[in-house]
Each structure stands twice: as C-alpha cells, then as structure tokens.
C-alpha cells in the first residue's frame, strides 16, 4: 500500500547539506500498522512527510496503492492526497471552528453536498467517541479529545492510508493508550493501512505489526514486531527495546554494591536480558538445579510484544565461585545477555 523506493532527501541550508534520508526502501502491506522508530534528528518527520509529498524527496520514488506520487502533476497530487489522511503531534485543529466543523472541513473542500457532509461527520464523531462534543470549540477539549477530532478529520475522505506523526507524544500515558487503542480499532475495522513515526518503543509494542529503526537518515533494521523484539540485530534496536523495561537497582542496595569481588562481597549481581527463545525456557530453575547455586531475584519485568515474551531481571547469584561461573556460562549459552553490575 505504501512503498518507498531508494528515497533520499537532502536539505540545503546556507550552503550546508544535510542528508535527512539516505536510500530508504520501505514496503507497508495493505491493512498493516508500520512503525518507524528513531531518536531525535534521525529523519522520522522527513520520512513521514515524504509519504504524502509534504516534503519532496531529492531522489527516489514513492507509491501509494500502486500509484507513483513522485510522478504526479500538482492537480492530480491533490486528488491523490485525499487517499492519505494525516495526524500530528499538536493536532493542528482550527480554533475558530467547532468539532463538527473541523471534521467537516475536508468534505467541504471536496465540495460534497451538505446532507452528505452531516451524515459522514456524525458517523465519524461516533467512531471516535465524540458525538456529545460536536458543538464544542477545540479550546475546551483535552489533548486526547483534540487528537480524536484530528483522527475523525483525517478519516473524512475515506483514505486508504493514515500517516501518524508522533501522534501521542503530547499526551499522558493513559490518554496515549486510549488513542493507540482507537487507531488499532480503526485499522482493524476499516482495514486502514497506518504508517507512524515515534521515538517510543512502547507505541510500537502496543499497536504495530512491523517496525523499522531509523538512524542518521538510514533504515538500519526492519522486521515484524515479534522478530525485532525476540532477535534485535542492531545495538540501537536493542536499546529501544530495553527502554520499554523499567528496572533499577534500589538506592540502599546500590550503596552496598562493590565494583570488584572482595572477601565480603562475593556474590555477583547480574543484569539478565531475555529475548525470544531464552524467555520461554525455564533457565533460572535449570541453572539452580544444575549448578547447585541460589538465585535471589532483586527485580524483574517480563513483557509481550507481537506474541513474543522478553524481559530483564536483576538477580544475585550465591554459591561456590566455579559453580557461579558455570551457571553464568550456561545462561549465556542459552541466549541470555548477562552483565555483572557488581558484587554483594
Ligand atoms: N527544513 C529543513 N531544513 C534543513 N534541515 C532540515 C529540515 N528539516 C529537517 N532537517 C534536518 O534533517 C535531519 C532530520 O530531521 P527530522 O526532523 O526528520 O528528524 P526527526 O527524527 O523527526 O527528529 P525529531 O524527533 O527531533 O522531530 C535533522 O538533521 C534536521 O536538522
């Protein structure tokens, strides 16, 4: 449904060239939710703005449902853009228009008859759960409600594709969830293809089918969400995944931790990272039985994404030195990433 073929974008500013996108190849199948994740300045906004040619690529081709946008003359491009809805981090509603009139705007621009506009707008407001707010002005809405209006407006022309530019970045975690749930519902109910950009792996984990990681304008890794979470290949993907896990050493415990083993501090504190196959096997109890050691769990968080289990654990290993070494090797051999944080 969306295809980027060898897309590059170079910005020129005061004789300086910035390569915002470098040879991007991306295919989003119809009906899927595709997330592109990256740090600030990685090229996410440029990428999503190229999808509807708000930003024209310097090189390469962009196709929506088989039609090459990069070949279309301006008049045909405006028509093609009706197939592509877009929502933004800061909602971009017209403050002088009511909720109803904001959603009606694209239909008015498409010169639809009033009765049809009214019917469509009321259906859309029901879809996004804002029927009772139709006469309200945006200033009286919460952030989540504003984004719901923006979603209804983006769907007004019945697009095949929805582009989401950091759509939940300005919202609190609870509202973020409800907006992501709405996007997922719309995707499933209307078969809408969604391309979103984000800097939060939680967003990807919650709604995406596939994910691409962008860094310095390049898509350095792309995969299904389950594959990325179970076997992240690049360091950046690994860092994004582990940013969704919130594991800290308690402060009083950290004070007792010594960098190297001493006569009093002999038990290593390990940070164990489980992905895919390692998370499914009962490796902790196997290590305890096989090597006759004790494992004290300080904190742990296991999670699911795309049907795959993964997680992080902080655990103290107690026992004879050679048994601890053998147990650590056993965990490593079974794809558990093992890091010694100190000794207690
Ligand atoms: N209009 C522009 N003119 C010149 N350089 C630009 C322009 N827009 C973006 N850039 C540069 O292109 C690179 C990618 O920017 P982009 O906004 O796409 O990143 P991003 O991943 O969306 O960042 P953020 O998450 O901070 O919004 C950056 O180096 C940025 O400075």
Where do the structural domains in the chain lie, given as residue ranges?
A: 2-234, 251-343
Pocket of ligand 1 (CB under 6 A): 11, 13, 18, 20, 38, 40-46, 199
Strands (E), 120-173: 161-165
Q: Do 160 and 83 meet the contact criterion of CB atoms below 8 Å apart?
A: yes
Ligand 1: which of 16, 35, 46, 216 to mutate, most ligand atoms within 8 Å of CB? Answer: 46
Rounded to whole angstroms, what are the CA distances from 287 to 115, 291, 304?
70, 6, 24
Name the 3-class secondary structure at 222.
Answer: strand
ipTM over 0.95: yes
Q: Residue 338: is it exposed, middle or buried by C-beta count within 10 angstroms (0-12/13-18/19+)?
A: middle
What pTM did the predictor assign? Answer: 0.85
Candidate from 4, 8, 9, 11 with most ligand 1 atoms within 8 A of CB, to mutate: 11
**For every one of its 344 residues, what pLDDT tens digit does the chain have, with 9 covering 90 and above?**
999 999 999 999 888 999 999 999 999 999 999 999 999 999 999 999 999 999 999 999 999 999 999 999 988 998 899 999 999 999 999 999 999 999 999 999 999 999 999 999 999 999 999 999 999 999 999 999 999 999 999 999 999 999 999 999 999 999 999 999 999 999 999 999 999 999 999 999 999 999 999 999 999 999 999 889 878 899 999 889 878 877 788 888 888 899 999 888 889 999 998 877 676 788 999 999 999 999 999 999 888 887 778 888 999 999 999 999 999 999 999 989 899 999 99
Q: Which residue bears the tokens 């088989």? A: 66
Distance CA 207, CA 186 (A): 11
Spatial separation of the C-alpha atoms in residues 212 and 210, rounded to whole Å: 7
Beta strands 33-38 and 193-198 are parallel
Query: What is the third-level CATH fold of 251-343?
Result: Alpha-Beta Plaits (3.30.70)
The rounded Å distance from CA 105 to ligand 1 centre is 29
Q: Whose CA is nearest to atom 24 of ligand 1?
A: 40
- HEC profile of 22-77: EEEEEEECCCCEEEEEECCCCCHHHHHHHHCCCCCCCEEEEEECCEEHHHCCHHHH
CATH topology of domain 2-234: Rossmann fold (3.40.50)
Confirm whether 2-234 and 251-343 share one CATH topology: no
């Amino acid at each position: 449904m969306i295809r980027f073929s060898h897309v590059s974008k170079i910005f020129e500013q005061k004789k300086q060239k910035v390569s915002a996108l470098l040879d991007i190849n991306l295919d989003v199948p119809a009906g899927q939710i595709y997330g592109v994740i990256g740090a600030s300045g990685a090229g996410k906004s440029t990428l999503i703005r190229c999808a509807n040619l708000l930003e024209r690529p310097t090189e390469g081709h962009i196709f929506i449902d088989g039609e090459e946008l990069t070949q279309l003359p301006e008049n045909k491009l405006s028509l093609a853009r009706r197939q592509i809805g877009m929502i933004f981090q800061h909602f971009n509603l017209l403050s002088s228009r009511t909720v109803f009139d904001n959603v009606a705007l694209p239909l008015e621009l498409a010169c639809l008859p009033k009765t049809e506009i009214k019917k469509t707008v009321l259906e859309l407001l029901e879809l996004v759960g804002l029927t009772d707010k139709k006469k309200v002005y945006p200033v009286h809405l919460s952030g989540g409600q504003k984004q719901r209006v923006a979603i209804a407006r983006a769907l007004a022309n019945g697009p095949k594709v929805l582009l989401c530019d950091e759509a939940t970045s300005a919202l609190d975690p609870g509202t973020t969830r409800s907006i992501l749930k709405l996007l997922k519902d719309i995707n499933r109910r209307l078969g809408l293809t969604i391309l979103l950009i984000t800097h939060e792996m939680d967003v990807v984990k919650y709604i995406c089918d596939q994910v691409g990681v962008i860094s310095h304008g390049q898509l350095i890794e792309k995969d299904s969400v389950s594959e990325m979470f179970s076997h992240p290949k690049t360091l950046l993907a690994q860092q994004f995944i582990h940013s969704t896990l919130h594991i800290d050493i308690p402060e009083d415990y950290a004070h007792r931790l010594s960098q190297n083993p001493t006569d009093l501090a002999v038990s290593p504190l390990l940070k164990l990272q489980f992905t895919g196959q390692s998370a499914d096997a009962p490796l902790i109890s196997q290590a305890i039985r096989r090597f006759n050691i004790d494992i004290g769990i300080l904190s742990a968080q296991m999670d699911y994404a795309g049907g795959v289990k993964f997680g992080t654990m902080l655990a103290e290993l107690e026992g004879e030195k050679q048994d601890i070494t053998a147990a650590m090797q056993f965990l490593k051999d079974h794809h558990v990433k093992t890091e010694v944080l100190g000794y207690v």
